[in-house]
Chains A and B, each alone.
Chain A
């Protein structure tokens, strides 16, 4: 695993703080991620029940489990990324390089980096019905940026693909500037998004669509 100095933003005082991006995390790292995140997920679940929050407002990754993905890292096509800040895992991502190819017409059939899993630590979630605003921000963006950089490193020209859960559509479409290629019947009808090489360049230089 290699480490790179990066920055994220502490919400409390809007200060940019030092963090570390880890690429090629090991299976045991994902177990540590889950060990760190699971208790808070469970606590949030209970609070959401007790406060009778509408199910539609529940975080969609409430019952995720990164320990179930650790085995995937044995394969060459899988890469695990993580962000730590002051020793705590703030975000994690798993990408694949042969599972999917580009669907956008210009580069159809060419390889891309597919984001299979991505999650921010529960203490960084903003859960408005509970008045929770999260400790750090910018984690999702930095992880997505790492996927774009991986795509460039792999000679995939920055192409990235993923299937977004409904609550995340705005992020990938408007913030990352990806193209919505419609519902994918092969993936539970989730919306498939793709970042072209031009959109990748734009994302790295100036940010997303809005």
Chain B
């Protein structure tokens, strides 16, 4: 499936600002940010589906917090 399709994205003002901020910080276009987000969501979701858990780890504080995703 090589061809690309165009879609319109409806975002709130706050969401648009978050997207803009990410494009600046990651030096990516809006499309690239959304693409990365989709890839990450798919990868994380697949592991959660298989029974694994997602954690944030703070190596300095030596803490681990589970990330709950709906």
B39 engages A97 (CB within 8 Å): yes
The 8 A CB mask of A131-155 against B (1 = contact, 0 = none) is 0000000000000000000000011
Interface residues of B in 3-34 (CB under 8 A from A): 25-29, 32
Contacts between the two chains (Cβ within 8 Å), count: 37
Q: Does chain B have a CB within 8 A of A98?
A: yes
Q: Does chain B have a CB within 8 A of A199?
A: no
For residue B26, which residues in chain A have a CB less than 8 angstroms away from its CB?
Answer: 109-111
Q: A154-B32, A155-B32 are in contact. Are A77 and B27 (CB under 8 A)?
A: no
A97 engages B36 (CB within 8 Å): yes
Selected contact of B39 from candidates A2, A24, A75, A157, CB within 8 Å? A75
Q: Does chain B have a CB within 8 A of A168?
A: no
B42 engages A157 (CB within 8 Å): no
B39 engages A155 (CB within 8 Å): no
Instruction: Please name the residue on chain B nearest to A101 by beta carbon.
Output: B26
Q: Does chain A have a CB within 8 A of B40?
A: yes
How many positions in chain B have a CB within 8 Å of any CB in the partner chain? 15
Interface of A (DSSP majority class): loop
Interface size class of A (residues with CB under 8 A): 10 to 19
The minimal Cβ–Cβ distance linking A29 to chain B, given in whole angstroms, is: 15
The minimal Cβ–Cβ distance linking A161 to chain B, given in whole angstroms, is: 15
A20 vs B41: C-alpha distance when bound (angstroms): 33
Interface residues of A in 82-121 (CB under 8 A from B): 97-99, 107, 109-111
Q: Does chain B have a CB within 8 A of A76?
A: yes
Instruction: Please name the residue on chain B nearest to A74 by beta carbon.
Output: B46
Q: List 13 A-B contacts (CB under 8 A).
A: A2-B2, A75-B42, A76-B35, A76-B39, A76-B42, A76-B43, A77-B40, A98-B36, A98-B39, A98-B40, A98-B43, A111-B36, A155-B32
Known: A76-B43, A109-B25. 18 other contacts (CB 8 A): A24-B2, A75-B39, A76-B35, A76-B38, A76-B42, A77-B40, A77-B42, A97-B39, A98-B39, A107-B27, A110-B25, A111-B36, A154-B32, A155-B27, A155-B28, A155-B29, A155-B32, A157-B27
